[in-house]
Structure 1
Amino acid sequence: SFLKWKMAIPMDSNKDNLSRERAQRLFNETVELENKRRKAVQARVPSDPNAWQKIRENYEAIVLEDHDFSEKHEIEFCLWQLHYRRIEELRARFNACVSSAGSDAPQNGKGPVRSGPEVLTKIRFQFKSFLSEATGFYHDLMLKIRAKYGLGLGYFSDDSDNQISMSKDQGKYSEVKKGLVSCHRCLIYLGDLARYKGLYGEADCKARDFAAASSYYLEAYSLWPSNGNPHHQLAILAGYSNDELLSIYRYFRSLAVENPFATARDNLIIAFEKNRQSYNQLLGDTKTATVKVPSTKLPPKGRKRGEVKTPIKDNKVEAVAVKERTSNNRGTFKGFTTRFIRLNGILFTRTSLETFDEVLSTVKSGLLDFLSSGPEDELNFGSDAAECKLTIVRISVILIFTVYNVGRENENQSYADIVQRSVLLENALTATFEIMGCIVERCNQLKDPVASVLLPGVLIFVEWLACRHDIAVGNELGEKQAGARSFFWNRCISFLNKLLSSGYALLNEDEDESCFTNMSKYDENDTSNCLALPEDFELRGFVPLLPAQLFLDFSRKCTFSTDCSRKEKTARVMRIITSGKALANIIQS
């Protein structure tokens, strides 16, 4: 057996050498073909019509032949660039034809009838044909990659059992990971191809193509949650529908991962500038429509510092407001999200800080309107319960990211940078505790808070606090932040007590639940605390929450739905209470 083992080494080595030699030969041939094509373009002479296809075949062969060589020379990216250059050519022709058709339109019905529409139809057909062919190519490539690395359907799910079995064999795990990363990239490219179909195809197919693109990006995310690229592409998609909240959420997610997508920062600057303009327009419209009525009421006595009280409204005014909110809910929510994004944009871009308090005030006012009142949950944050849950989670995540972003220390900071960072962090924490305090206060008012659409967002927030003792306790608090914290903690304690009496709290009172200082404790105890909830699947890879995700079981994928099981409710309540206990110990000590 020793002799066989000894002989196997040179055999494997020879095989690797042969693969490397073939990859190198293909690469050299491809470089030569690329140079010839480039020279032909510069000389404006026709190039070999078969060269493009040959280059693609060579790149594909290198990817499948030698992974390390492919990674070293970024062959997968080169392969995509080959397609992207063709897309750029077709896009330029398409846009030029559209511009030409507009400028060549006959004036006053006079002049010759141009063939613009026919030419445009032809270019669109060529564009669509190329995108469809490229889509087929990448599907085939992904099948070949899966076959090479032995990736069955199980690897394209969130099945943690596969991960456990792979971890026992590091060699196999390393090989499988190579295949998964390559498939991840293929899915990103497939998403881009579908996105271009939506942008330049027929109008009636736009929604379908964008939905397909979203599906590809989400599958890419599930394969590699710690990579920011899928979130960045999803942010671009959200921008097409002018969904500011979703777009900013995705851009933030693309940065708050172990492998951030750096381009997102530049796109965020653009998105926040666009939002600033929308906010200014909204502000102008509001000032025009607002009629100020002087109040004769004195503020109530005995209110504790930091507490926020919703002003009492006249019954008739309230009835009108409810009616308007029902009929114009979508438009009103758009206004709220514009203000909310502006609030976070100020802190991200570090500009217009003097307007922060004013913007925060309008955000809180709008949030209180949407949270409404009464013992029953109202679906004001989306078309159904599932969408409302996602919206609240995204609001919570955006606030968490803002604190995470402004709180990071950069190298070679000047004294002015340090001072500005302190101001930014003070404002970020003030806004975060006030907004989340309003949400928790609303949970307190509900007859059945366990079933509330607000609860997933609350869970995310309290678990994050339990992971960040420094933020939970605070340091050198300013008056505004101290008031916001007091407001939040008072509501939070009341809410935790309400959950304890809800019938879903199964914790042993005599047991010290220290999950956030001893993560292995969840593994030792077979409890439903380990169950990954829909919000956990939504936020896999989100760096601020990674410590809280370590003990979760992701083997049974679930998504937000209108109704949730008792098991899901119990798991959520138990985790909130566990986080609350950990926080109580931190704050009291």
Structure 2
Amino acid sequence: MQGLEAARGAYEVAQAKEAQLKALSKSKNFDTAAAYALQDDIRHCYADVLAADPLFAATNDVEMALWRSCYYKRIEDFRKRTRKYANHAVPSGDALAREHLHRICMDFQRFLADATAFYATLLTAYDAELAHLRQQLQLAPHEGSHPESARIDKLSQSIHRCLIFMGDLARYRELHSEAQTPDWSHAEQYYQRALAAMPHGGNPHNQMAVLATYTDAECVAVYRYCRSLLIRHPFMTARENLALLFEKNKQKLAEEEAAGAASGELRGRTLSNSKGAGGRGNTGALLKSFLRRFVRLHGILFSADPEGLAQFGGMFSAVICDFRTLLYYSAFGDALLLKMVVICTFT
């Protein structure tokens, strides 16, 4: 009971400071330093709530409130400032703008590192509490529902959300790093762990779809968005993201055709008639073209676009032709074929 009272007290203080922050954001004399100070106060209050009573925190969605108020808003502010100076530094070569951009990026990376450390500490505490509760549950008689079961469920949800946030932080870190080639593996690992914590939640699939879009892996992204929706607890934002992906795919395909890219039908026949090493060597290009058009076909079915439906028959025949050719050359791995089956089931 003492923990619950402490959680309620800290929560009330956090809510009051949230109101102050909201009022400050609407003020004509907005003070960034004051806003950051309030966000730090809110973070400490919410952290106290989480430590005092995880069940109360989960019931009042404290993790999401903490993320939105203390981290997501700051992240969006950093990204806005980064875009502003990048627009000046890159085209014009402005040295001062480049210096500002570098400083902002470094500050952003430090902020992301601090945020990751905060959530790592929180996750460790959650894992320890969950292990303790599960041990108590095993020692308890198996008659009726145990009072700790609800706490275990809430803690599992908290761990799930915590891992999603850590994945997002890792994703932002790579998006705004100065590395030539971003490494998305850390973000994906967090999302996979979030999925393991709550296998019936759609959010991790949506986040992994976003990662796939960064590498133009459209088929993988569509598969993940479909999984995000074809699940017990779907993540409904995935439908909007999927519609946007299909629209971008349509534009890319049109640009490739306008640029004079060889048609998929021609490449398919060339490979079919060339069964030596030379033919096999072209499967990579054909597979890329096939997947682009495969996604386009499902985009047409998803949106029921009249213009697209008029083109569907011819494109479908070409895609099937190339599919047979690629099967002949064993161009598909089992994982890719599974993803294609799931996409076909969805649309």
Shift of 1:282: 4.8
State which of 80, 103, 107 in structure 2 corresponds to 1:126.
107
Shift of 1:275: 1.4
The alignment status of 1:357 with 2:303, answered yes or no, reads no
Unmatched runs of 5 consecutive residues or more in structure 2: none
Q: For residues 317 and 60 of structure 1, do their structure 2 counterparts lie closer, same or farther at Cα, with a shift above 3 Å needed?
A: closer
State which of 141, 146, 149 in structure 1 corresponds to 2:122.
141
The amino acid of 1:358's aligned partner reads G
Aligned pair count reads 336
Corresponding residue number in structure 1 for 2:18: 34
Q: For residues 31 and 394 of structure 1, do their structure 2 counterparts lie closer, same or farther at Cα, with a shift above 3 Å needed?
A: same
Q: For residues 202 and 151 of structure 1, do their structure 2 counterparts lie closer, same or farther at Cα, with a shift above 3 Å needed?
A: farther
Spell out the pairing of 1:11-50 with structure 2 (5 A cutoff). Answer: 15=1, 18-41=2-25, 42=27, 43-45=29-31, 46-47=33-34, 50=37
The superposition leaves residues 193-231 of structure 1 with CA deviations (integer Å, 9 ceiling, x where unpaired) of: 000011001224622xx1100000011111111100000
Q: For residues 371 and 103 of structure 1, do their structure 2 counterparts lie closer, same or farther at Cα, with a shift above 3 Å needed?
A: closer
Shift of 1:283: 5.0
TM-score normalized by structure 1?
Answer: 0.53
CA contact 2:55–2:155 (8 Å) conserved in 1: no
The amino acid of 2:66's aligned partner reads L
The superposition leaves residues 503-544 of structure 1 with CA deviations (integer Å, 9 ceiling, x where unpaired) of: xxxxxxxxxxxxxxxxxxxxxxxxxxxxxxxxxxxxxxxxxx
Corresponding residue number in structure 1 for 2:290: 336
What is the CA–CA distance in structure 2 between the aligned matches of 1:364 and 1:226, rounded to whole Å? 33
The amino acid of 2:117's aligned partner reads G
Spell out the pairing of 1:132-171 with structure 2 (5 A cutoff). Answer: 132-150=113-131, 170-171=145-146
CA contact 1:339–1:362 (8 Å) conserved in 2: no
Shift of 1:168: 7.5
The alignment status of 1:83 with 2:64, answered yes or no, reads no
What is the CA–CA distance in structure 1 between the aligned matches of 2:6 and 2:325, rounded to whole Å? 66
The amino acid of 1:392's aligned partner reads L
What is the CA–CA distance in structure 1 between the aligned matches of 2:310 and 2:168, rounded to whole Å? 40
Shift of 1:389: 1.3
What is the CA–CA distance in structure 2 between the aligned matches of 1:117 and 1:317, rounded to whole Å? 49
Corresponding residue number in structure 2 for 1:63: 50
Shift of 1:97: 1.1
CA contact 1:145–1:179 (8 Å) conserved in 2: yes
What is the CA–CA distance in structure 2 between the aligned matches of 1:167 and 1:240, rounded to whole Å? 49
Spell out the pairing of 1:383-398 with structure 2 (5 A cutoff). Answer: 388-398=333-343
Shift of 1:19: 3.5
CA contact 1:339–1:363 (8 Å) conserved in 2: yes
SS at match of 1:227: coil
Corresponding residue number in structure 2 for 1:243: 217
Q: For residues 290 and 56 of structure 1, do their structure 2 counterparts lie closer, same or farther at Cα, with a shift above 3 Å needed?
A: closer
Q: For residues 148 and 98 of structure 1, do their structure 2 counterparts lie closer, same or farther at Cα, with a shift above 3 Å needed?
A: same
Unmatched runs of 5 consecutive residues or more in structure 1: 1-14, 106-112, 156-161, 292-310, 373-377, 382-387, 403-589
CA contact 1:151–1:179 (8 Å) conserved in 2: no
SS at match of 2:252: helix
CA contact 2:46–2:66 (8 Å) conserved in 1: yes
Identity %: 30
Spell out the pairing of 1:97-108 with structure 2 (5 A cutoff). Answer: 97-102=85-90, 104-105=92-93
Shift of 1:30: 1.2
Corresponding residue number in structure 1 for 2:208: 234
What is the CA–CA distance in structure 2 between the aligned matches of 1:401 and 1:21, rounded to whole Å? 47
CA contact 1:197–1:206 (8 Å) conserved in 2: no
TM-score normalized by structure 2?
Answer: 0.87
Corresponding residue number in structure 2 for 1:551: none
Cα RMSD (Å) of the superposition? 3.0
Q: For residues 217 and 168 of structure 1, do their structure 2 counterparts lie closer, same or farther at Cα, with a shift above 3 Å needed?
A: farther
Q: For residues 167 and 333 of structure 1, do their structure 2 counterparts lie closer, same or farther at Cα, with a shift above 3 Å needed?
A: farther
What is the CA–CA distance in structure 1 between the aligned matches of 2:99 and 2:11, rounded to whole Å? 41
Q: For residues 167 and 330 of structure 1, do their structure 2 counterparts lie closer, same or farther at Cα, with a shift above 3 Å needed?
A: farther
The superposition leaves residues 531-569 of structure 1 with CA deviations (integer Å, 9 ceiling, x where unpaired) of: xxxxxxxxxxxxxxxxxxxxxxxxxxxxxxxxxxxxxxx
What is the CA–CA distance in structure 1 between the aligned matches of 2:273 and 2:14, rounded to whole Å? 72
Shift of 1:167: 8.5
SS at match of 1:320: coil
What is the CA–CA distance in structure 2 between the aligned matches of 1:84 and 1:205, rounded to whole Å? 25
The alignment status of 1:212 with 2:180, answered yes or no, reads no
CA contact 2:213–2:221 (8 Å) conserved in 1: yes
CA contact 1:187–1:220 (8 Å) conserved in 2: yes
Shift of 1:276: 1.6
State which of 145, 153, 157 in structure 2 corresponds to 1:181.
157
State which of 324, 327, 337 in structure 1 corresponds to 2:281.
327
Shift of 1:317: 7.5
Shift of 1:39: 3.4
Spell out the pairing of 1:328-477 with structure 2 (5 A cutoff). Answer: 328-351=282-305, 352-372=308-328, 379-381=330-332, 388-402=333-347
What is the CA–CA distance in structure 2 between the aligned matches of 1:206 and 1:124, rounded to whole Å? 15
CA contact 2:297–2:316 (8 Å) conserved in 1: yes
Shift of 1:103: 5.1
CA contact 2:271–2:325 (8 Å) conserved in 1: no
Q: For residues 200 and 176 of structure 1, do their structure 2 counterparts lie closer, same or farther at Cα, with a shift above 3 Å needed?
A: same
What is the CA–CA distance in structure 1 between the aligned matches of 2:251 and 2:279, rounded to whole Å? 24
What is the CA–CA distance in structure 1 between the aligned matches of 2:346 and 2:241, rounded to whole Å? 16
What is the CA–CA distance in structure 2 between the aligned matches of 1:151 and 1:254, rounded to whole Å? 31
